[in-house]
């Protein structure tokens, strides 16, 4: 059992929380996510052209890069987090360039040394898996793939081939944070994905309110929340830890309550 598989088995459903590395007081915000009840943490690697992200995360990327955040800084944050939180899974999420510029083997090795559990690379499709996939797998790092509303039955086997950790279902055909998918479409998509894989299915993009989180928790194995947390960091700056903890706690309460009600 890995940290990720343990987290999904234990929480069921898991709350997966995202923040951008280098935006605000990242160490304090990571601790706040754990204190609020996040089961899995995604740490965004800032990039100059975050094509999948909406305004909130784009602006967080800019703030982080303007502050001088480097890949070395991100691994230092991850390593320090692992010392403070030995059991909470940490996933790096980002884009191909920062992950592959020194070679996939280097990146995978650094992930392993820092105690990173998984990687989501938004812009390496399954066809380009050799760029990063073999290196991550040989280092014991889960490669978490994305499925979308346009991932049909013919495409799904390619997405699942070599995927591990969990499957991230992007609930809208668009960018993070702005749109909200109809719950019926999420229900149908999760059922379809579960027919093809035993990996946990986590649903994200556009999840903001405890009510939305609760509705997704009734059908999925995980609920991913990012932009709404990043907006709290934008509003509160280096003092965001308290508001982040309280917001995450409200999501966690809704998720736990929803799953108990449907049990």
Q: What is the β-pairing status of strands 201-204 and 167-170?
A: parallel
CA-based radius of gyration for the chain: 17
Q: What is the pLDDT of residues 96-138, one digit of tens each?
A: 999 999 999 999 999 999 999 999 999 999 999 999 999 999 9
Task: Calculate mean pLDDT across residues 47-54.
Answer: 82
Going 119 to 120 to 121 to 124, the CA torsion angle's sign is: positive
Model confidence, pTM: 0.96
Measured in degrees and rounded to the nearest 5, phi and psi for residue 69 equal -60, 130
42 annotated active-site: yes
- pLDDT at position 251: 98
Tell me which of 23, 53, 117, 231 is the catalytic residue.
53
Architecture per CATH, 3-257: Alpha-Beta Barrel (3.20)
117 annotated active-site: no
- Residue 215: strand, helix, or coil: helix
Tell me which of 42, 110, 117, 231 is the catalytic residue.
42
Q: What is the pLDDT of residues 82-95, one digit of tens each?
A: 999 999 999 999 99
DSSP 8-state symbol, 221: S
Q: What is the pLDDT of residues 129-171, one digit of tens each?
A: 999 999 999 999 999 999 999 999 999 999 999 999 999 999 9
The C-alpha atoms of residue 188 and residue 102 are separated, in whole angstroms, by 40
Q: Among 53, 116, 49, which residue's Cα sits nearest to residue 81?
A: 116
């Amino acid at each position: 059992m890995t940290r990720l598989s343990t987290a999904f088995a234990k929480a069921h459903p898991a709350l997966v929380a995202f923040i951008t590395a280098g935006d605000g007081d990242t160490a304090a915000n990571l601790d706040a996510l754990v204190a609020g009840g996040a089961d899995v943490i995604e740490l965004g690697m800032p990039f100059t052209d975050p094509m999948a992200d909406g305004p909130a995360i784009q602006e967080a990327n800019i703030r982080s890069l303007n502050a001088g955040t480097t890949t070395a800084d991100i691994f230092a944050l991850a390593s320090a987090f692992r010392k403070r939180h030995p059991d909470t899974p940490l996933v790096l999420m980002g884009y191909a360039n920062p992950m592959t510029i020194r070679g996939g083997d280097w990146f995978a090795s650094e992930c392993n040394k820092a105690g990173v559990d998984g990687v989501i690379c938004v812009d390496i499709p399954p066809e380009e898996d050799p760029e990063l996939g073999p290196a991550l797998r040989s280092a014991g790092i889960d490669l978490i793939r994305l499925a979308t509303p346009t991932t049909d039955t013919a495409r799904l086997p390619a997405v699942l081939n070599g995927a591990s950790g969990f499957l991230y279902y992007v609930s809208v055909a668009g960018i993070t944070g702005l749109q909200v998918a109809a719950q019926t479409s999420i229900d149908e998509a999760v059922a379809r994905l579960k027919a093809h894989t035993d990996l946990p299915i986590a649903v994200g993009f556009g999840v903001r309110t405890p009510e939305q989180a609760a509705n997704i928790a009734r059908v999925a194995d995980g609920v991913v929340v990012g932009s709404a947390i990043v907006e709290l960091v934008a509003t509160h700056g280096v003092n965001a830890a308290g508001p982040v903890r309280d917001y995450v706690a409200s999501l966690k309460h809704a998720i736990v309550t929803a799953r108990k009600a449907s049990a």
